[in-house]
């Protein structure tokens, strides 16, 4: 845990100056000397966005080893020096006013949360995809520049994600200790502190939609994501970023950010970055559309050009890595891809991969031949019956929540509330679009938590706000008590699952390394390597390791860095 804390502070030292340096270009809050938690999360995410984009670009030409890390460190120190000399290092201050006794007690939630995160961060990764390909993909990035046709060796290596690139930068593998995977837990703890600001406001009597929504996301983080904290997987960052964008979007609609024009531009850029982590998050680009539409209405065209320019910068290395790794613009994506290169994954393999993703996400335990004979209605019916009660409840809520919203329409006070918050239809529609996209493509729940929870909490916050306004005194007296107890129980459950007493003493100093599972040698067309034996998982070591030997895959040259070719 001690090493984990040290790495967290070191990562913050590198990430934050990039955000502090860039934010003033679009955010008028930069003229102030003190900032709130909204600014902090924005600076952190902009820092990660810019640093990831830079690292992704460099990964096209060089492995992400000590040379790149040293370059980034020197750049970060230089920015800190510039900020210090020009007196632009921000001072953080969060105005909460007088704290009542319940608010003071609620700080215990935050301290418990931090300990739960620290315990969880030091455990071995539990995301199954980390063993299947995340860890090996990170090692390829650490060892070689982007390798042509790497997806031919193992199709999952073509699932290009910028999140794996930034994890390779901060893995510190060049120290020859282990490949650390602490960045997800840092993102988690920063996000939780941001969400906690809503907890504090609600317990103090606040009833803004954005505060209620942040409260809900604080609880949901520990209910749904604790097993993702120690894994460099792509599900956790997408979920948290979607939740943060949702929260800040509602703040914008409420007018909380009226005195700080520029927030929406940076949130649009973060939305663009989110899609490079995982393409399934593409519906969040509707936020970018919302920003652009508003700018055109106000006849402000420069911010639109800035957003388009940022999109070009962010997507250039991402698409470049896609083409190198798979020979396709997006993988597995376009049916008629315009890219044709020698190392490209054969089109028939791409179609098989797409169908496999959908089948495994929908009915992983059904044989592919049986799956093919089922109608889509039967597939989704069986999929629903296979879900755990918690997930069934979420689906029921998503389906039924529009009904009471319609039934309440004859009530004038409800209509007035909806009219006041009519712009909320944009974020709500965006989140429902994300849910539909998730259902159609790969409906494994951990893939869709970002949109699913957002679509649930937005209308829920509306109803809570409405009932508080109807019975303000009674509800404000009772609400803090009925909300703190379930939150404590959820934190207790998450903490209990992260203790792992058999490894606790070892984890006090150093977080656990990736597991090592059994592998065996397997043959490809003109070379051999190690392949997985248990659950199709290689983890980080040995390297390189693939799923299985494929006779019609060959190495292009005499070295792995020259790439691989698949023969249809």
Q: Using CA atoms, how far apart are residues 563 and 559, in angstroms rounded to an integer? A: 8
Residue 363, pLDDT above cutoff 50: yes
- Separation CA 229–CA 232 (nearest Å): 8
Beta bridge partners of residue 35, listed in sequence order: 92
What are 65's two structure tokens? Answer: 């080893």
DSSP state of 563: -
Contact 1, 122 (CB under 8 A): yes
pTM above 0.85, yes or no: yes
- The region, left, alpha or beta by phi > 0 then psi within -120 to 50, assigned to residue 450 is alpha
CA-CA distances (angstroms) from residue 533 to 133, 524, 539? 14, 16, 11
Give yes or no for residue 296 having a pLDDT over 90: yes
Which of 63-77, 230-244, 530-544 has the lowest average pLDDT? 530-544
Sequence spans of domains, the chain:
2-332, 348-473, 519-566
In a 10 Å sphere around its CB, with 0-12 CB exposed, 13-18 middle and 19+ buried, how is residue 125 labelled? buried
Mean pLDDT of 458-467: 87
Model pLDDT, residue 240? 97
Residue 508 near residue 104, CB atoms below 8 Å: no
Distance of CA 340 to the CA centre of its chain: 31
Q: What does the pLDDT look like over 52-62, one tens digit per residue?
A: 999 999 999 99
Encode pLDDT of 535-567 as tens digits: 889 999 999 999 999 999 999 988 999 999 998
Per the model's pLDDT, the better-predicted residue between 70 and 367 turns out to be 70
Which tokens sit at 92?
A: 């953080």
């Amino acid at each position: 845990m001690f090493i984990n804390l040290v790495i967290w502070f070191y990562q913050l030292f590198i990430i934050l100056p990039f955000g502090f340096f860039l934010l003033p270009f679009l955010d008028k809050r930069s003229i102030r000397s003190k900032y709130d938690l909204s600014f902090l999360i924005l600076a952190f995410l902009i820092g990660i966005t810019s640093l990831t984009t830079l690292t992704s670009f460099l990964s096209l030409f060089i492995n992400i080893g000590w040379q790149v890390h040293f370059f980034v460190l020197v750049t970060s120190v230089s920015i800190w020096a510039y900020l210090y000399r020009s007196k632009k290092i921000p001072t953080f201050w969060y105005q909460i006013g007088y704290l009542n006794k319940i608010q003071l007690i609620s700080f215990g939630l935050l301290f418990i949360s931090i300990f739960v995160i620290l315990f969880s961060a030091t455990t071995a990764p539990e995301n199954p995809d980390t063993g299947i390909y995340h860890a090996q993909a990170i090692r390829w990035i650490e060892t070689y520049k982007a390798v042509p046709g790497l997806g031919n060796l193992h199709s999952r290596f073509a699932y290009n994600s910028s999140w794996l690139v930034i994890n390779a930068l901060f893995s510190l593998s060049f120290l020859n200790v282990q490949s650390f995977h602490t960045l997800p837990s840092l993102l988690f703890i920063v996000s939780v502190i941001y969400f906690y600001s809503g907890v504090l406001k609600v317990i103090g009597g606040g009833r803004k939609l954005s505060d209620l929504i942040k409260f809900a996301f604080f609880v949901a983080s520990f209910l749904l994501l604790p097993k993702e904290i120690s894994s460099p997987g792509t599900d956790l960052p997408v979920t948290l970023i979607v939740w943060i964008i949702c929260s800040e979007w509602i703040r914008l609609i409420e007018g909380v950010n009226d005195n700080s024009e520029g927030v929406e531009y940076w949130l649009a850029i973060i939305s663009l970055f989110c899609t490079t982590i995982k393409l399934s998050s593409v519906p969040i680009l509707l936020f970018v559309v919302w920003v652009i539409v508003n700018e055109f209405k106000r006849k402000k065209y420069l911010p639109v050009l800035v957003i388009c320019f940022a999109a070009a910068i962010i997507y250039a290395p991402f698409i470049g890595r896609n083409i190198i790794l798979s020979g396709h613009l997006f993988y597995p994506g376009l049916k008629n891809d315009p890219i044709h290169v020698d190392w490209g994954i054969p089109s028939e393999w791409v179609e098989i991969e797409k169908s496999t993703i959908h089948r495994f996400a929908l009915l992983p335990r059904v044989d592919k031949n049986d799956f093919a004979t089922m109608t889509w209605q039967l597939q989704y019916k069986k999929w629903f019956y296979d879900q755990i009660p918690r997930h069934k409840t979420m689906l029921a809520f998503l389906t039924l929540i529009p009904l009471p919203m319609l039934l309440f329409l004859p009530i004038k006070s409800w209509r007035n509330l909806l009219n006041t918050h009519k712009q909320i239809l944009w974020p709500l529609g965006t989140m429902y679009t994300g849910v539909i996209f998730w259902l159609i493509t790969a409906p494994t729940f951990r893939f869709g938590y970002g949109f699913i929870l957002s679509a649930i909490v937005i209308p829920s916050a509306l109803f809570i706000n409405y009932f508080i306004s109807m019975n303000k005194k009674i509800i404000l007296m009772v609400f803090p008590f009925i909300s703190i107890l379930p939150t404590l129980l959820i934190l207790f459950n998450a903490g209990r699952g992260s203790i792992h007493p058999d490894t606790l003493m070892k984890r006090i100093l150093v977080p656990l390394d990736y597991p090592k599972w059994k592998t065996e040698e397997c043959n490809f067309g003109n070379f051999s390597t190690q392949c997985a034996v248990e659950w199709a998982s290689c983890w980080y070591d040995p390297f390189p390791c693939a799923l299985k030997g494929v006779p019609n895959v060959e190495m292009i040259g005499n070295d792995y860095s020259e790439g691989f070719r698949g023969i249809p």
